[in-house]
Structure 1
């Protein structure tokens, strides 16, 4: 174990300002006794938080590109990190306790998880599995990842599987597509086995008081700032230079651009460098009520990873994730309402007050559209008379049922018209909704890129073999058994990187194994046959 006194003089550079980097900074200060003033977070955007975002005003409209499900109590690394972060709103308790209290005060129990073309709430207690589906699931759970290789979900299951209640709920809860990685689907089935019996009500979902930027990123960032951590925004890292002529992987210089001017910073051998390789929200683009969003291409995070991977054989294969936009994109939208019409209608229709339900999925939607009404206010600066909800479509290149355009070509106004068509709004309601709402669509080319089929080695180890001061962070690293597209995966990668590079003799919480619990196994089995 490293003498933590030595760590007080180390410097650390974190490339990317998402939750992985923020968490790594927390672990370095809390557990490694690295001085906050010696930690610098380098972020290209003007704000930190990565995919955990949330911003806007009443006048301009509010935006969240997406929301990450928090699972209680199985996100052990996340809860451990948040347990040392003070709440900004409830003095004397941590962010972990704040989220737990809020979730207890506002429990989830969806009563309208799936809606059909006739606007009828579908009874989704039954999974609709065939005997072949059950057999295929059983075989998948015992298959090795090595044997599955780069197979896709649709390579394993019969076509009818993708028309079951289970698939509509699973696909929209986690954003899986039939062409996504079978290995990742298997990991999810095991990781969330305890959620399987309540997938129709989403009772296991923990909620944050506000959006995840306001409720998680802001308090973490505030605490880090109080410890002296430096945020260097509007800076784009273009290369990481390793010391030549030695067997180990040791970073000696970081090259970056600021305002179009290239510069570099030296890195001492005892200093640390963490790089969040890839981004699920890279190149996202926002539309307006009158304009559709544009489809972007690879940006600095993926391109830097590509540059590094071209020089090191064990730095992964970014192409598996970044070069398949057609399979990884979908579109979300955030709606700011100045009139209670929509919330009043949805609360009456679903029998769920805002914040007590979950995703409402329109199963017959060509876009496979879902929406969710969070507890209000959903933003810290949201006035009392404003209400905000979020939604998305998994098939943005399909023509709508009510709007004769692909979702990707639709303005915010047209996205709202499609939604109101599924809800059977009358002409008066449609007109009122359009005149009192601001719908901001968001195209995300890489949002499920981490789900694309991959081979062993496509995701680099958090700390590559032979690395002395360098680690990868985030969704495109390899962590055995855990699942991407979760806050937990980013936080676990951060804890792993910090503990390994600082040689801390401290235990990282094991990934939760529901299949080792008799009750979980029994409940899952009875769910499969109900």
Structure 2
């Protein structure tokens, strides 16, 4: 194993999301690097990327999305979090905290789908036709290279998208019919063990708080204790490359162009320094609205913009256009509601049969917006008062009109979103009370499922491009064979891969779990398919 403790080498992470934070941990833990030689360059004033969580009871809390974890398929994530000390339980790790919390509050949803008449749908049966079953079976045995850039709706019949399975699967993972068939197949294989219990989401692991407070904050505190340097409000505008003067590789990164606090500058990079770039961001250019204003649909920001510059001059850097030029197909809207009255939580717990934190997404399957809400265990934020409750929701069809509010969800204020939600629940008489005691903050995310867009080989760059001496891509828009994007696991695995490869670390990365390799999982899945 190579170690770099005694050298003057520096490592630069462009982007402060979970991939960069994880990469910094691996550099210190497995590469022997001193923390003060690691720099995390982040455009925003906070780290965490898409694993966010902010706000207060007075102005309202915000989480742009909720990240569900899974025990078998988050191999690298659990190994990472088992290295990070808990900030709540002395002598324990973050992994210990999450496992203990999940055991104490197991998920078993009893109201996964709700119809237009507010009836809880019986979802024990997937409602597959024989053709659906044949199509699923055929997909699982078809090699990826034969699927190419096909979309999901080019493989399945229209009726497939009206099954209980599709409503649950699509809203659990945020798939659209026009998304990548290859990615859908990967999900079916990686999460095959969840198929028989998809109606309850019993396999979901939860964090005690939102993912920023439960995952990002402990990692960040540990990295700070190691001396890692955070360069916030620092936008990287370009990255320069040149032939490797040592002759050990084809090309190296040698200069990072930055704008920090409005001032233009650059960082010189030596051939033995390391540069890790999170190319693209699912929450880039997201915008928040308020109770009285709708969020604004944004355009490409610094992460995709930098990726496009690098792709134009460094062969093997992928094709960002496959992902960032399809906003109409990759956007959706979410909303976070801060309640200062228990009315809504009391109703939902009685209606669903689940105490907050033990259910899962409640999806209004007939809603124009395909809206879902989820009530987490409270408190969901570390600074949340006891008499305040927070829940989150989203809509997969933000450009369709509501059933009660005749507007696109993307054009709705927080007040209008609450109006639509309570109307679906037949609680219109409670609307004045809800509006008086709640803050709903909508969020528009133009690229939230851009990583699901149809792609072909080469559109996503290898983690370490061929011939690169000191540069790696990390995050959701790189290529890790067989693994699935839109997961914390994918970002962590790319970071671990990048660090181990660039440092030639002789340590095995945790292998991937594939349900189709287990006889019981296969049998249980087949039984579910024929229900």
TM-score range, shorter chain: over 0.9
- Root-mean-square deviation (Å): 1.0
After TM superposition, list the pairs within 5 Å mapping 1:234-313 onto structure 2.
234-244=233-243, 248-313=250-315
Cα distance in 1 for residues equivalent to 2:40 and 2:351:
46
Cα separation, 1, equivalents of 2:4 and 2:394: 49
| Partner SS, residue 30 of structure 2 | helix
- SS of 1:421's partner is helix
Alignment CA distance shift 1:49-1:7 (3 Å): farther
Q: Matches of 2:494 and 2:264 in 1, distance apart?
A: 30
Q: CA deviation at 1:430?
A: 1.0
Matched residue, 1:528 = 529
CA distance in 1, matches of 2:72, 2:289: 37
Relative to the length of structure 2, the TM-score reads 0.98
The alignment partner of 2:182 has SS state of helix
**Worse-matched range after superposition: 288-297 or 254-263:** 254-263
Describe the SS at the equivalent of 2:463.
coil
The 1-side partners of 2:7 and 2:418 are apart by 54
Aligned match of 2:20: 21
* TM-aligned CA deviation for residue 179 of structure 1: 0.3
* Structure 1, 59-68 or 256-265: larger mean CA deviation: 256-265
Aligned to 2:340: 338
CA contact (8 A) 1:8 1:35 kept: no
SS of equivalent to 1:500: helix
Deviation at 1:68, TM superposition (A): 1.2
SS of 1:239's partner is strand
Q: Could you say which residue in structure 1 is the equivalent of 2:110?
A: 111
**Which residue in the other structure is 2:383 paired with?**
381
Q: Which residue is 1:397 aligned to?
A: 399
> Please, which runs of 5 or more residues in structure 2 have no aligned partner?
none
Aligned position for 1:88? 87
Instruction: Provide the rounded CA distance (Å) in 1 between the counterparts of 2:408 and 2:501.
Output: 47
Distance in 2 (alpha carbons) for counterparts of 1:416 and 1:308: 43
Describe the superposition over 1:402-434 as per-residue Cα deviations: whole angstroms up to 9, x where unpaired.
00111011100000000001000042x111011
Counterpart of 2:194 in 1: which secondary structure?
helix
1:7–1:32: 8 Å Cα contact kept in structure 2? Answer: no
Q: Using structure 1 for the length normalisation, give the TM-score.
A: 0.99
Deviation for aligned residue 1:491:
0.1
- Greater CA drift, 254-263 or 439-448: 254-263
Give the Å deviation of 1:386.
Answer: 0.2
Structure 1 alignment gaps of length 5 or more: none
Preserved CA contact (<8 Å) 1:293 1:442: yes
Partner residue in 1 for 2:496: 495
Q: How many angstroms apart in 2 are the aligned matches of 1:86 and 1:227?
A: 13
Count of residue pairs the alignment pairs up = 528
CA distance in 2: counterparts of 1:399 and 1:279, whole angstroms: 28
- 1:154 equivalent to 2:156? Answer no
1:211-234: CA deviations, max 9, x gaps?
000000000000000000000000
Trace 1:1-400 onto structure 2 (pairs within 5 A): 1-2=1-2, 4-5=3-4, 9-244=8-243, 248-400=250-402
Counterpart of 2:456 in structure 1 is: 455
Change (3 A) 1:372 1:518: same
Deviation at 1:8, TM superposition (A): 5.0
Q: Output the CA distance in 2 between the equivalents of 1:8 and 1:351.
A: 59
**Contact 1:108 1:356 (8 Å CA) reproduced:** yes
SS of the residue corresponding to residue 136 of structure 1 reads: helix
SS in 2 for 1:332: strand
Q: CA deviation at 1:242?
A: 0.8
Q: Say if 1:275 and 1:198 are closer, same or farther in 2 by CA, change over 3 A.
A: same
Kept in 1: contact 2:149–2:456 (CA 8 A): yes
Task: Give the Cα–Cα distance (whole angstroms) in 2 for the partners of residues 268 and 20 of structure 1.
Answer: 23
